[in-house]
A and B are shown apart, each in its own frame.
Chain A
Amino acid sequence: MSQLVRPNRASRSRWVLGAPLLIFLAAVVLFPLGYGLFVAGQDRSLLNPDPSWIGLDNIAAVVQDSSFWRAVRFTVIYTVVVTSVELILGFLLALLFNRRFPGKRLLLSLTILPVMIAPALMGIMFRLLLNQDIGLVPSVLSVFGWEISLFGTDAVVPMLLLLDVLQWTPFAFLLFYAGMQSVPDELYEAASIDGSGYWRSALAITVPLLLPVAVVTAFLRGVDAFRTFDVVYVLTGGGPGDYTTNVSIYIYKAFSSGNFGIAAAASVVVCLILLPVVPVVVRRLADPARS
């Protein structure tokens, strides 16, 4: 193709067509990114209109703050647990769906419905569902004689994990299901002629072929679970205490109390923690030839 194009023509249209993207990246991504790094080195706050450069003091303050590391720990546990549970349940659900049954089309729509609901609005609906006085879940639990406080320290973390699984298993399901549709029927037919049963076919054919899908789904869910903010913030605000404060809520708390320097510094530390996984994810997302 390049032979057909006079070089200067291609290079000019390249810049013209790329201009909106490049301008946007420069103005809305790179400049704020640099500005964020700059603020991380300032003692800037709502009360300090004339900030000065304090170098790594903010970073040091964040790294020495034990509640920051509790937030990191909570975030990592949350991410690992919900991602693995959603992958497993999503895969099993896709296996269940991967056949003919009455009402399939409608049930597919209903199953993936939660993916389209804004997490913040889902959070409000969860609050209603779990409300101690008027919610459905406490009412049902009390019929069985269980009087537990869902937002107390004992139940709140498992509850949040469960709610994440409830909303995002359909996402994992959808990706697995789409992947299963691209597995040629002939493979299963050949296997069944060879006397392979349903579960054997699933294990020997479906699982290995869908491994790449599983990896990408794990990355997509993992990244989103790591930065979860909406549902947790709407439901618990990070509490009780800082029991459910994840890194996003930690940074938001610093930001909303006016400590811009600390919030920016905490963001930088979080990015440094994420740095080792960047090349892996980028290769997967940007270069389909290799994945």
Chain B
Amino acid sequence: MALETISDGRGTTVTPPRTPVVPRRRRRAWGVTAAVSAIAAVLNLPLFFALLTSFKSDADIARSALRVPDTLTLEHYANAMGQAGYDFPRYFLNSTLISIGTVVTILVICVPGAYAMGRLGLGRGHLLKGIAALRLIPVIFFAVPFFLLFSRTGLYDTIPGMVTANTFISLPLGTLLVMSAIREVPHEIEEAAKLDGCSDYRIVARIVLPLLAPTLAAVAVLVFITAWSDYLFAVILTSSEATPVTVGAANFVTSTGIRWGDISATTVLSVLPPLVFALFAQRYLVRGLSAGAIKG
């Protein structure tokens, strides 16, 4: 009888209350809260510790990690924002441009492409399978050709170059998600529109696109996080101009004299945008990840 309700905390309970059982059930529910809290704490320990370190003074950081700090300081955040000569604001801007650019490019490519494949018979299913197979190829396979081709075409170390590389990474995910949503759009709507003389382009723009809105939101969240997280292509395809935070923050680790306070501050700032984005759009994130796994 413990599994009968799976609403998310706001719904009303379905079980008819049987008086003698209630206190035990409630105690057990709090037990679950305690257990889950402990697990969540362990999972987020790295982030908590980085957050704590970012507010500690250098002297406190150098002492034992278990000691309660004497003072808290914002000095490391000031350093991260440019006072210590780091180019962090620039990396941050680069990451933002790359991630937003990738989201836009993915949507521009995947929505009409998925419609053409799903409804107009483009590729007869083979094309989709080929795109799904891309998910399997280790990204590193493209390191050498991308580096050589980007160097030759002037895309090396540029924002458009990084957008191209990240669009490549997210293409299978974006296509499969949009595809599974298009399959769920009822045929009748499009057929009625066609009878009324609507062109395919109008149908996509006026009818399919609005119906896809929740899926497109999910794609946007997932692609944004994926692009923001990219490290491999950033290492290979950038040197200074287009460096994103993942490489920029890691640079501080290897540069002379590890300043852990500053590194913690830059890392905390770097993980913030995807976290904020994802928490506000958690509904879409869950939908996107699970649709990607279960339906398509």
Contacts and interface: CB of A to CB of B under 8 A. Distances in A.
Interface in A210-248: 212-213, 216-217, 220, 223, 226-227, 229-230, 233-234, 247-248
Nearest to B14: A185
Contacts of A135: 49, 65
Interface string A125-137: 1111101011110
B53 A128 contact: yes
A63 B137 CA distance: 19
B241 to A, nearest CB: 19
Interface residues of B, number: 123
A174 B286 contact: yes
B215 to A, nearest CB: 14
Contacts of B285: 112, 116
Per DSSP, chain B at the interface is helix
A286 B176 contact: yes
Interface string B275-292: 100110010011001101
A17 to B, nearest CB: 4
Interface in A143-177: 143, 166, 169-171, 174-175
Nearest to B42: A166
A115 B292 CA distance: 15
B116 A178 contact: no
Contact of A134 (B61, B125, B168): B61
A123 B128 CA distance: 34
B8 A288 contact: no
A291 to B, nearest CB: 9
A218 to B, nearest CB: 10
Interface residues of A, number: 119
Interface string A164-202: 001001110011001111100100110010000010011
A125 B296 contact: no
A111 B250 contact: no
Interface in B126-180: 128-149, 164, 167-168, 171-172, 175-176, 180
Given A29-B168, A118-B231, A179-B290, A170 B5 contact: no
A13 B141 contact: no
Given A21-B116, A113-B44, A128-B50, A120 B247 contact: yes
A180 B260 CA distance: 42
Contacts of A178: 286, 289-290, 293-294
A192 B15 CA distance: 12
A170 B46 contact: no
A174 B284 CA distance: 13
Given A32-B149, A234-B253, A134 B260 contact: yes
B112 interface: yes
B112 to A, nearest CB: 4
B293 A128 contact: no
Contacts of B295: 288
6 contacts: A29-B168, A101-B30, A120-B246, A134-B61, A139-B64, A175-B294
9 nearest interchain CB pairs?
A21-B113, A178-B290, A118-B229, A18-B116, A13-B200, A120-B231, A32-B145, A14-B120, A125-B46
Given A112-B282, A128-B53, A251-B140, 18 more contacts: A31-B149, A104-B8, A104-B9, A118-B228, A128-B264, A129-B46, A139-B64, A180-B6, A185-B4, A201-B3, A217-B293, A233-B231, A260-B144, A271-B141, A274-B137, A285-B132, A286-B296, A288-B296
